[in-house]
Amino acid sequence: MRYETERTRRRGHADTATDTLARGLGLFSIALGIAEIAAPRALARALGMKGQEGLIAGYGVREIATGIGILASKDPTPWIWGRVAGDGLDLATLATALEGNNPKKGNVGIAMAAVAGVTALDVYCAQTLSRETPHPLPPLQDYSDRTGYPRGLERSHGAASDFEVPRDFRTPEALRPYTQPETPRHPQPSM
């Protein structure tokens, strides 16, 4: 589990979304590796890469190892970066199939687009995990139980009742609002 830092959206919270994405990429890696090991000839034929079956099976082993590493580790960050490197290797290998007179160049282009999309997910996940920490941050201090009065709120009532504002703290006479002087009210005699 990774935790967000001061530089991320929610300081100290567990980042379950990125953790789930990493685990999903691990499962995808294992599934892809099994497909590459189980049917290297079919993949080589579909991509016009006959003679590369051993390489495809080797890439399948790499995918399974990376997937297991992601799922088994507490910190999947290095394994996700391993997926990014493997994606680069896959793209380079697919790029060699675009040369010459390969009749399956369209399939190679589709495969490259799919690998590029997964690479984008891998890079996003790896960068997000790299920004986070494997240790939860201490919670922010909670001062809601404090009043701000050293001797308590009850003892502070009336503590300043004898305080008189110094003359230089008062509003100058020229700036005070004008008020009519009050005339004394005398009761009017009734008639």
Residue 107 pLDDT level (bands cut at 50, 70, 90)? very high
Q: Give burial (CB, 10 Å; 0-12/13-18/19+) of 75.
A: middle
Cα–Cα distance measured from residue 61 to residue 84, given in angstroms and rounded to the nearest whole number: 16
- Average pLDDT of the chain is 84
Q: Calculate mean pLDDT across residues 72-85.
A: 92
Q: Which residue has the higher pLDDT, 129 or 182?
A: 129
Q: Calculate mean pLDDT across residues 109-115.
A: 95
Count of CA atoms in the C-beta half-sphere (13 A) of 48:
18
pLDDT score, position 148: 79
> What CA dihedral angle connects 86, 130, 22 and 74, to 10 degrees?
110
Give the contacts of 14 (CB within 8 A, at least 6 positions apart).
1, 2, 3, 4, 136
Cα–Cα distance measured from residue 180 to residue 166, given in angstroms and rounded to the nearest whole number: 25
pLDDT score, position 189: 67
pLDDT in tens, 13-42: 556 788 889 999 999 999 999 999 999 999
